[in-house]
Amino acid sequence: MIKKNLIILIIFSFLNGCGFTPIFDSKNIDVNINKIDFDNNKISRNFAKSIETFSNQTSNNAYNLLIETSSTRNIAAKDSKGNPLVFNLMLTINITLINSKNLKEIKKSFSKNINFNNNDDKFKLRTTEETLISQMSQSILQEILSFLATIR
């Protein structure tokens, strides 16, 4: 019992003193997002909510943000009968930052694509597609936050 408590105490002290700091924090991003305009779809709404949490309200760099998203699913390969075997899913997010002071625009496009196999069960196919879009969205969000951290 004493050994178990001692091991837990040692592990806790190592983890507590390891110096962990989050990579993406509003303190690291010196951009204040005043207004966010976006397409009326699920992907854009999720991006707007995520980026809004990283906005640094104390920053002097004030921007308005426009988010445009699109996702396309194309057939990448077919079998001998012409039925789709492999799909290509592409997610593209275009952002436009408009400086509130001098109205200077900064435009940047981010995109990811992935191939996935077809499934006879359409529900599983749709679920797989939504999961892949979510994963690609998180990856693009990290790229956007890195981009926002470099804006001066």
Which helix (H) or strand (E) element contains residue 131? Answer: helix 122-150
Q: How far apart are the first and last CA of the chain?
A: 55
Determine the Cα–Cα distance for residues 89 and 87; give it in Å rounded to an integer. Answer: 6
CA-nearest of 23, 42, 48, 4 to 130 is 42
- Asked if residue 93 belongs to a domain, the reply is yes
- Asked if residue 73 belongs to a domain, the reply is yes
Phi, psi of 23 (to 5 degrees): -70, -50
Q: What is the pLDDT of residue 90?
A: 96
Residue 21 has pLDDT above 60, yes or no: no
Percent of the chain at pLDDT > 70 equals: 88
- Asked if residue 11 belongs to a domain, the reply is no
- Asked if residue 2 belongs to a domain, the reply is no
Q: What is the pLDDT of residue 38?
A: 87
Residue 26 has pLDDT above 50, yes or no: no
Q: What's the mean pLDDT when you consider all of the chain? A: 84
pLDDT digits (tens, 9 = 90+) for 65-123: 899 999 999 999 999 999 999 999 999 999 998 888 888 898 999 999 999 999 999 99
Angle at 77 between CA 73 and CA 80, to 5 degrees: 135
- Asked if residue 34 belongs to a domain, the reply is yes
Please report how many Cα atoms fall inside a 13 Å half-sphere around the Cα of residue 51, on the Cβ side: 31
- Asked if residue 129 belongs to a domain, the reply is yes
Q: Are strands 84-99 and 32-38 parallel, antiparallel or unpaired?
A: unpaired
- Asked if residue 18 belongs to a domain, the reply is no
Those residues whose C-beta lies under 8 Å from the C-beta of residue 8, and which sit 6 or more positions away, are none
Q: What is the pLDDT of residue 131?
A: 93
pLDDT digits (tens, 9 = 90+) for 42-52: 888 888 888 88
Q: What is the pLDDT of residue 2?
A: 74
Q: Tell me the DSSP string of 52-113.
A: HHT--TT-S-EEEEEEEEEEEEEEEEE-TTS-EEEEEEEEEEEEEEEETTT--EEEEEEEEE
Q: What is the pLDDT of residue 16?
A: 65
Q: What is the pLDDT of residue 15?
A: 66
Q: What is the pLDDT of residue 47?
A: 82
CATH number at residue 59: 3.30.160.150
- Asked if residue 95 belongs to a domain, the reply is yes
Identify the domain containing residue 81 by its residue range.
25-150
Q: Indicate the number of domains in the chain.
A: 1
Q: What is the pLDDT of residue 20?
A: 55
